[in-house]
Amino acid sequence: MKTFLGVDGGQTATQTVVADEEGTILARSRGGPSNHTEEPGGPERLERVVLQTIREALATIQIDYADQHAFSAACFGMTGETDIKTRILKRIVNTERLMVVHDSVNALAGATAGRPGIIVIAGTGSVARGTNARGEEARCGGWGHRFGDEGSAYWIGREAVRATLAEYDRMAAETILTPMLFERLGVNSPYQLTEKYYAGSLSREHLAGLSLWVDEAARQGDKVSQEILYHAGRDLAHLVQAVSNLVFPHVEDPAEINVTQKFLVCYAGGAFQSSFVTTSFSNSVSEADRRAEVRPALLPPVLGSLLLAYRCAGVELPHGVISAWTKSPEDS
């Protein structure tokens, strides 16, 4: 039996899917994070997690000697650079064809189900990528929390802390974020709050998690929180505009826009769990370009990896197969 492997390796989890040559999904598995291979222990963690998820997936379809099983093609979507990861994966994954791509590539393939379009991912970080019918690609963002990640959950969490500090300095309006952060983080002053982050006792991921509290405060009517989330949506829309200018250049006369010129703009990631972010993003994208059809991603990144694995092997799946993937309850 010919099998194809799709893997999405992220900052919080690694997801794996195995399918046959007809596009029938046979098995899935999930493991820990497999990124940050530049850190001490990172390469070993990548190898351990990838092998674990592949073994677990193959075990569910009763394939013995999992480490010796040869896939017809495999695609890995991974955060960050791919060179180190490619060297490791070539050594540990038995496959006729191996593709290792930045995670925005497989996310885009999944989001549009392989069609031309743009994906914006706003989780802990943020990045946008697009491709047109000619295969021309562009990417914007993805520069990490120190120099980029506009509109991301990290950015939202950082803005929440900044709003609290601005209130303390009497440079901005009062916000219920201040008592919320103080109480839930067990601090009594802005100094104690910032010290927890500067000292490293609270991580970058923890700061990103504050975005959920910002949304909670916004839903309670806090104007400062609402403005943070609206600003996040607008920043993410700016990423779309930068990409679309490269792969979907503006037409001369907007009145001449027809259905063939429209393109998908899909969004994914935890920051979009906030309706404030999603509404601001959708409105900003639509106002900037009437050709854009804004919607959630059609498929998750792991199925984008699977789709790319088939393409790597020169296999084009029937449209009905991919449509069935979009209706899978596991991916809703």
Q: What is the pLDDT of residue 33?
A: 78
259 and 247 in contact (C-beta within 8 Å)?
no
**Together in a domain, 138 and 255:** yes
For 69-93, how does the pLDDT look when each residue is reduced to its tens digit (9 = 90+)?
899 999 999 877 778 888 889 998 9
**Together in a domain, 140 and 165:** yes
Using a pLDDT cut of 70, give the percent of the chain over it. 92
**Together in a domain, 132 and 247:** yes
Residues 234-254: what's their mean pLDDT? 86
**Together in a domain, 284 and 305:** no
More confident residue, 90 or 1: 90
Coil, strand, or helix at residue 187? Answer: coil
Q: Which of 108, 134, 131 is nearest to 269 (CA)?
A: 108
Q: What is the pLDDT of residue 331?
A: 53
**Does residue 325 carry a pLDDT above 80?**
yes
Using a pLDDT cut of 90, give the percent of the chain over it. 60
Q: What is the pLDDT of residue 332?
A: 42
Q: What is the pLDDT of residue 303?
A: 95
Read off the pTM: 0.83
**Together in a domain, 252 and 192:** yes
Q: How far apart are CA 296 and CA 77, in angstroms?
A: 19
| CATH code of residue 26 | 3.30.420.40
25-31 sheet: strands from edge to edge: 25-31, 14-20, 3-9, 73-78, 98-102
**Together in a domain, 95 and 221:** no
**Together in a domain, 77 and 131:** no
Domain count, the chain: 2
**Together in a domain, 254 and 327:** no
Select, from the ranges 18-22, 122-126, 225-229, the one with the highest average predicted confidence (pLDDT).
225-229
For 44-64, how does the pLDDT look when each residue is reduced to its tens digit (9 = 90+)?
888 899 999 999 999 888 877
Residues 244-265: what's their mean pLDDT? 75
What range does the domain containing 49 cover? 3-112+299-331
**Together in a domain, 292 and 303:** no
Range scoring the smallest mean pLDDT among 26-40, 155-169, 227-241, 274-288: 26-40
247 and 280 in contact (C-beta within 8 Å)?
no
Q: What is the pLDDT of residue 211?
A: 95
**Together in a domain, 143 and 226:** yes
**Together in a domain, 138 and 246:** yes
**Together in a domain, 279 and 153:** yes
- Partner residues linked to 71 by β-bridges: 95
Coil, strand, or helix at residue 277? Answer: helix
The amino acid at 243: V
- Looking up tokens 């982050």, which residue turns up? 197
- pLDDT band with cut points at 50, 70 and 90 for residue 259: low
- Partner residues linked to 280 by β-bridges: none
- Partner residues linked to 127 by β-bridges: 121, 141
**Does residue 266 carry a pLDDT above 70?**
yes
**Does residue 275 carry a pLDDT above 90?**
yes
For 170-182, how does the pLDDT look when each residue is reduced to its tens digit (9 = 90+)?
988 899 999 999 9
